[in-house]
Amino acid sequence: MSTHQHSSLFRGETVTQALRQSFIKLSPARMIKNPVMFMVELGTAIMLLVTLLSGVTTHASLGSVGYNAVITLLLFLTVLFGNFAEAIAEARGKAQAETLRKTRRDTQAKRLNPDGSLTEVSAAELKKGDVFLAEAGDVIPADGEIIEGLASIDESAITGESAPVIREADTDRSSVIGGTLVLSDQINVQVTTQPGESFLDKMIALVEGANRQKTPNEIALTILLASFTMVFLIVTVTLQPFAASANTPITIASLLALFVCLIPTTIGGLLSAIGIAGMDRALRANLIAKSGKAVETAGDIDTLLLDKTGTITLGNRKATGFYPYNGLSEEAFVRSAVLSSLADATPEGKSIVELARTRNVTVEPDGLEGASFVKFSAETRMSGVDLPDGRQVRKGAWDAICRWSDNRADLPLLEAKVKEIAGNGGTPLALAVDKKALGVIQLEDIVKPGIQERFARLRKMGVKTVMVTGDNPLTAAYIARQAGVDDFIAEARPEDKLHYIRQEQQQGKLVAMMGDGTNDAPALAQADVGVAMNSGTQAAKEAANMVDLDSDPTKLLEVIEIGKQLLITRGNVTTFSIANDVAKYFAIVPALFAASIPGLNALNLMRLATPESAILSAVIFNAIIIPLLIPLALRGVSYRPVGAAALLTRNLLIYGLGGVIVPFVGIKAIDLLLGLVR
């Protein structure tokens, strides 16, 4: 975890900054964006005017100056507490931004010139496309991709993880972040961002973003709350003529108190804080979300696409066996396998060379002058080498080698070994020379311990899991059964992922996916929630709407839980806020009309002492419940993976029923305290 993740909920400096911002946010231009709290502020202004008038004139509708002053103060505190909830969430973000800013230094960069010479320049002078040299002890001056070399990198300044990571050119872990430290070796890095657009700059802008965009759900809820406010405004206004016909004088203070207590001020005051805290929790999980919508959408995900290697399995598949065909000697077969893997930077390719060494077979690269190496691609699903003597050596997926081969007569016999390896959960890698299949290399991977339980957890959330793999259907089916996923895409190409995502979306489902390569970019852009690994390519990071700084393939599971926690927290607080109105109704309405309509005393369930005490108790409770719920809004409601019906039942029992009971208890307690004060 990063150092900026350990800030306490209420630090002295943060609280001081939030209190200052609470007063600044009283500006009507800002308050009008929150219709509920804006109406409370307007009511406070009216009460202030009424208080001043009641001090100089006597009228039945004005009431006493002391009572009016107390109601004015309580309404003002209600607005202030609502502002404080939002301000404390923003202040925590700004504190994180300050910590991040300290990691950004004006470092010097060793820029590589076209003639191979080096020029020392400030990091701020580096432009997109420039290449710089970074050696052991250097701070990487800008975000980029390694184009030559490999190095051990300390990323703790950004991700907080103390363990160094290996970054290497021509792999799926070639990306480096500005502000990280090179521990060993040297690398040539091509800059991928313009000055001011680095990940560190984006993180600072994200956590500092007080003027964040509201999400669609948040906008919809704001409109609903505004509608509730208008309804209760009409109800309150029509009470005055009703009271006049019943010969019941009601003061302006009482009407405003009733209005403020009936509108959903609790969720109105906490709504923005809940949204900001959701983004904050994502950042604390080392996720950069490009918008609040991405975090929120994650909570509604129906389908989750996961890569097999490194996510479901331990990754880094290793060669464990060579199986030559048709009497070919093992040494000749292994030598061809090594030739096909010398330029293969993948873990699988390196493991073939390592396994060959244990069989005392090596190939000196010096003897391959003039050879043309063919890199693996998602389209061909093969790699290999074209030798100077004209021989073509290829290794790859069985179906790809079958298509490449000319001699198909022997393929059915070799296919038996392919099916045997795949049926046992291994990955068969076919080898061919001059378009003739020679045998099979066996790769093995292991399903991660505990992964079945994690998928069962997702299933309880109602999320369908889909494994994406380049393996053949037999191997994919075996691993899918072992891991407990709901579906799989075998021999997956970029267009296959894209097609599957679109197919799910056409059925009205929301889809999440994680990727790291350039070939993942189209699918990441199409997915409703696309999470790119920070170690991946720039194309993947630009296409996704989230970036995982830890480059942890299992982070998608955490993303979904963060999104669900945000949605559940907002829903629960909304339920609690609306349920609150029931108790406040039973506190204020009987107090207003009990004198002229004695029968309404039956509704005074709390047996409050006096009408004035009942109104004051309700307004005090209405004000203090907002700061009491701030920790819940910032931390979020604890989430457990259960079905929608169970979640709804829990919501109604705890926050619905609790939202009715707590105000009854709280208002009665405040009434008793007021009685003691009197």
- Cα separation of 84 and 77, whole Å? 10
Q: Is residue 221 located within the same domain as residue 252?
A: yes
Number of domains in the chain: 4
Task: Answer with the residue of higher pLDDT: 488 or 249.
Answer: 488
Closest Cα to residue 164, out of 191, 148, 185?
185
Average pLDDT, the chain: 83
| Residue 415 shares a structural domain with residue 365 | yes
- Clarify whether residues 438 and 359 are in a common domain: yes
Residue 111 maps to a domain: no
Q: Is residue 5 part of a domain?
A: no
Confidence at residue 449, expressed as pLDDT on a 0 to 100 scale: 79
What per-residue confidence (pLDDT) applies to 575? 92
Write the CATH number for 466. 3.40.50.1000
pLDDT per position as a tens digit, 317-354: 788 899 998 778 888 899 899 888 887 777 788 889 88
233 and 349: one domain?
no
Q: Identify the sign of the CA torsion 492, 494, 495, 501.
A: positive
Same-domain check for residues 431 and 319: yes
| Burial of 360 from C-beta contacts in 10 A (0-12 / 13-18 / 19+) | exposed
pTM of the predicted model, to two decimals? 0.70
> 382 among the known binding-site residues?
yes
42: its two tokens: 């307007």
Dihedral over alpha carbons 560, 564, 566, 568 (to 10 degrees): -170
Q: What is the pLDDT of residue 5?
A: 40
Q: Is the per-residue pLDDT at 392 higher than 80? A: yes
- If asked whether residues 457 and 436 sit together in one domain, one would say no
Q: Does residue 105 register a pLDDT over 60?
A: no
What Å distances lie between residue 640 and 459, 568, 655, CA to CA?
A: 12, 11, 16
Is residue 4 scored above 50 in pLDDT? no
Find out whether 520 is annotated in a ligand binding site: yes
Q: Which of 307, 445, 471, 548 is catalytic?
A: 307
Tokens, residue 503: 């197919």
Q: Is the pLDDT of residue 38 over 90?
A: yes
Task: Judge whether 381 is annotated as a binding position.
Answer: yes
> Is there a binding annotation on residue 348?
yes
According to the model, what pLDDT value does residue 73 have? 95
- Determine whether 307 is an active site residue: yes
400 with 459, same domain? Answer: no
Residue 383 shares a structural domain with residue 466 = no
188 lies in which domain range? 127-194
Indicate whether 541 belongs to any domain. Answer: yes
Which residue, of 549, 578, 595, is where some domain finishes? 549
Q: What is the pLDDT of residues 231-265, one digit of tens each?
A: 989 988 888 787 777 677 788 888 898 899 889 99
Is 380 annotated in some ligand binding site?
yes
Q: Is residue 113 part of a domain?
A: no
Where do runs of H (alpha helix) occur along 520-657? 521-526, 538-543, 555-593, 611-635, 644-651
Which CATH number goes with the domain that contains 170? Answer: 2.70.150.10
Q: Give the chain's largest Cα–Cα span.
A: 113
Q: HEC states along 153-202? A: EECHHHHCCCCCEEEECCCCCCEECCCCEEEECEEEEEECCCCCCCHHHH
Q: Are 437 and 584 in a shared domain? A: no
Does the residue 657 lie in any domain? yes
The residues, ordered by sequence, that sit 6+ positions from 512 with a Cβ below 8 Å of its Cβ are 298, 301, 303, 304, 305, 527, 528, 529, 530, 531, 556, 559, 560
Instruction: Please count the other Cβ atoms lying within 10 Å of the Cβ belonging to residue 284.
Output: 18
Residue 102: which pLDDT band, with cuts at 50, 70 and 90?
low
Residues 387 and 431 occupy one common structural domain: yes
Give mean pLDDT, residues 262-286: 85
Of 511, 530, 549, which one is at a domain's C-terminal end? Answer: 549
Instruction: Consult the annotation and say whether 245 binds a ligand.
Output: no
Report the pLDDT value the prediction gives residue 383, as an integer from 0 to 100. Answer: 87
Out of 446, 465, 497, a domain closes at 446
For the segment 300-306, the average pLDDT, to the nearest whole number, is 89
Q: Is 395 assigned to a binding site?
A: yes
